[in-house]
Amino acid sequence: MTKVRFLVVGLAMVAAFSSCKKEGCTDPTATNYDSDAKEDDGSCIAATVDSKYTQPSTYVFTRNNETSVSYSGQTNRLDMLSEMTSYLKSANTPGTSLDATKLLNMYANENSPWSTADLNESSKQLKNKTAGGDASIQAYFEGLMNAAAAGSDSTVTGQYDGANGKIGVVQSGTKAYLMDAKGMEYTQLIEKGLMGAVFYHQITNVYLGSGKMDVDNESLVDGKNYTKMEHHWDEAFGYFTSAPDFPANGTDRFWGKYSNSRDGLLGTNSAIMTAYLKGRTAIINKDYTARDEAIAEIRKQLERVCAGTAIHYLNSAKADFADDALRNHTLSEARAFINDLRFGYEPSLSGAQLDAILAKLGDNNYEVKTADIDWAIDQLGAIQDLASHKANL
């Protein structure tokens, strides 16, 4: 098909220009591209996209038997948030101090804060990608990091004394969480918050947005095996999971994990993965209608995961209502996911509606009321088809 099209284009050009310019292959994506040629002579041998017409079952795409997929920068950022999260969780053991400078360095990837050279040498960072570089949202996360460090400094080895009005580690059985005086768990607000402000925002608004999708899909990026559009699509995928064979793998962290957790009720795993594969295949085939269908599907399904997870944690908070540690922990998660919804593309609930839900839940997890949690669940049920699932999420 493409060959035929090249042929037609070539003939048309030959017909249009009957001047005496150097003839050769003028298609930069062809294997025999001649940069000196001014006029195409129809000799182009098209670079083959090996998996052109069939949608694969895993995120593997090649051109001339070489991979055309690259999202290492996204995997770097996933790894950064993983490492930051496990560092934050070390403070769940009372008497462990977090270093604020280290957290801020991790956020901005400065002064080699990571355990691996790979991350330390990476040019990537979480901070500049937070809500598209919104300074006030960056400041919100930096504030949380400073507060987590200060809070951890006040804990004493062996003392699980976090309580209403007192910063500290709150314990339930084998689980223990560092929380502020109002039962907010710093780690959840930071980790789940960045999942939204960085990963979710980058996928739905940035890489699947028109700015990154209305780009060249005709020629390969200099020295690379992909077009610009293909690469942007891959980056949108890399923020969802680093596992090309999701959900066989990649269910251990972030959006891949929460999609998998909701999959039993919402069927999000295959919906999201199929859409990513469909969109990438459509781009190869320059079928932008199918690509746009896939974009809409990914945005919709990720919002279902995000809102469904928020409802799930609100239900958990009710189920563990009498347990300070578990209730506050799940409420902190729920709050972060509610907040994350605003980073989606054209969210189902407005910022004001999300603010109202958070306000209803109050600012103190120790004082929350079940009626207010119920109200929040009902509001979130307005998103997509979640009303029918809210009792079981």
Partner 1 sequence: MNKGFLLFLFAAILLAGCKKDPDPEPTQPDSASYDQQSLLNNWGDEIIVPGYFAYTQATSDQKSFADAFISDPTESSLQAFSDKWKTSQKTWQSVSLFEFGPGSDHVIRANTNIYPCDTTQIEKNIQNGNLDLSGASRLDEKGYAAIDYLLHHATAAEVVQEFKADSKRGDYLKALVAEVDQLAQTVYQEWNSGSGNHVAEFKSATGSNVGSSLGIMINSVNMHLERFLRDGKVGIPNGERSFSGDPLPGHVEAAYKGDVSKEFIRANLKGLENIYLGTKQDGSNGMGLDDALNSLGAKHGDQALDAAIKSQIASCYSAIDAVPGTMKEAVVQDSDKVSELFKEFQKLVILLKADMPSSLGVLITYQDNDGD
How many residues in the shown chain lie near partner 1 by CB under 8 A?
Answer: 26
Q: Which is nearer to partner 1, 225 or 261 (CB)?
A: 261
Q: Is the Cβ of residue 11 or residue 391 nearer to partner 1 in the bound state?
A: 391
Binding-site string for partner 1 from residue 134 to residue 173, where x marks contact by CB under 8 A and - marks none? ------------------------------x--------x
Q: Which residues pair with 175 in a beta bridge?
A: 172
**Segment 4-13 long-range contacts (CB within 8 Å, at least 24 positions apart):** 6/42, 6/44, 6/46, 7/42, 9/40, 10/40, 10/41, 10/42, 10/44, 11/42, 13/39, 13/40
Cβ closest to partner 1, residue 54 vs residue 157: 157
Residue 156 CB, shortest distance to partner 1, in Å, is: 16
In the complex with partner 1, the residue whose CB is nearer, 70 or 384, is 384
Whole-Å CA distances, 45 to 35, 39, 50, 251: 14, 15, 14, 41
| Structural contact between residues 218 and 227, judged by C-beta atoms closer than 8 angstroms | yes
Distance in Å from the first CA to the final CA of the chain = 47
d(CA 228, CA 70): 11
Contact 99, 116 (CB under 8 A): no
Interface pattern 187-206 for partner 1 (x via CB under 8 A): -x------------------
DSSP state of 393: -
Among 319, 350, 363, 382, binds partner 1 (CB under 8 A): 319
- Contact between 267 and partner 1 (CB under 8 A)? no
Quickly count: other Cβ atoms within 10 Å of residue 314's Cβ. Answer: 28
Contact characters 89-128, partner 1, x per CB under 8 A:
x---------------------------------------
Fill in the amino acid letter for 41: D
Contact residue for partner 1 among 316, 347, 383, 386 (CB under 8 A): 316
Q: Interface residues with partner 1 (CB under 8 A)?
A: 85, 89, 164, 173, 188, 261, 264-265, 312, 316, 318-319, 321-322, 324, 327, 365-371, 374, 391-392
